Structure 1
Amino acid sequence: MKGTKSAARYAKSLLELSVEQNNSDKIAVNMQAIVNAYDENREFQLFLNSPIISAEKKISVFDSLFSNFEELSAKFIRLITKNGREAQLADIAQVYLKLLKEQQGISEVVLTSASPLDEATKSVILSKIKNLTKEKVELIEKTDKSLIGGFTIVMGDQKIDASIANQLNTIKQRLTK
């Protein structure tokens, strides 16, 4: 993330306002939409980062793109743009989502597997993680064919690597010693 300090300040301010107005979950939906648009659309990234496009034009585009957003989100995006921080909008949105989850006591767990897991397997893994952490857990699923088989789980700064690729790498290291 670029400019994380300012992104964190903006995100914290937005979170405080949204909690005060009792609509933090609705704002979270708006912020997730921004993150998704940024991740999925190269033109949106270029638009946000363009120094050539005026703030007024960007505000006009934002108003039409995000016309269904909560009033607080719309005003916030306008403020960010007027302050010349629109290039940080996706970072601010990500930090907002992270802060909201922390406030709600939700831990993010990233489950990466070689191929998509069936619901029964995900359910077993999720229940074991919930029993282990005694917290609310949000499961984020990813696939990575380089794992060959098995899975990895990342919870905060902890990583559990139960992948075949890791096991093969361990065997390779033992054999080369």
Structure 2
Amino acid sequence: MRTVTFGMNISIDGYCDHTIYNPGEDVLDYFTGMMEDVDLVFFGRFIYQLMFPYWSDVARDQSGTASENKFAQRFSSIDRVVVSRTLNVGDEKTRIVHGNPAEELAKLKQQPGKKISVDSVSMLPELITAGLIDEFNLVVHPVIVGNGRKLLEAGSLREKLNLKLAEIIHFKSGSVALHYLKQ
């Protein structure tokens, strides 16, 4: 059975807006390293459209810093499943799914392969409730935002989920990576 990992950048006050962070080279290198163990990314439509075609363009054009180019190359080479009611067409690495996210992820988890990375805040409560997330990788950035999309909205989980801290990484930028395992 494959391991499913959830990764997200968040502010100190728990907001997940990718447009407000300016990750340093060390944070990008951390995410690139994480992606070495991943052969499938499971997206919701919003994050998928935020990430692509941006990262595939950077990979193709090599238009970023050395760390951005390396991340873009790795990230855009991984197969993707996007859960969406509105998208119908993806690229050669992307399969669009219109059905139940938890059911689809449960099927994918049973297939052989490396880790599956979940990159969706909107599906997170459903996937946690279904018991499908095995690891959580949160990079907390030294910023207080005060508004936006929360990692989890109040009342979105039926019961709490206890986690075990596996690793802490401190970055020069002041960001901190927290790696948790489901108990």
Q: Same fold (TM over 0.5)?
A: no
Relative contact order (C-alpha < 8 Å, sep 6+): which is higher?
2
- State the TM-score bracket (shorter-chain normalisation): under 0.3
Larger Rg: 1
Q: Higher helix fraction: Structure 1 or Structure 2?
A: 1
The alignment's TM-score, normalised by the length of structure 1, stands at 0.23
Q: Higher strand fraction: Structure 1 or Structure 2?
A: 2
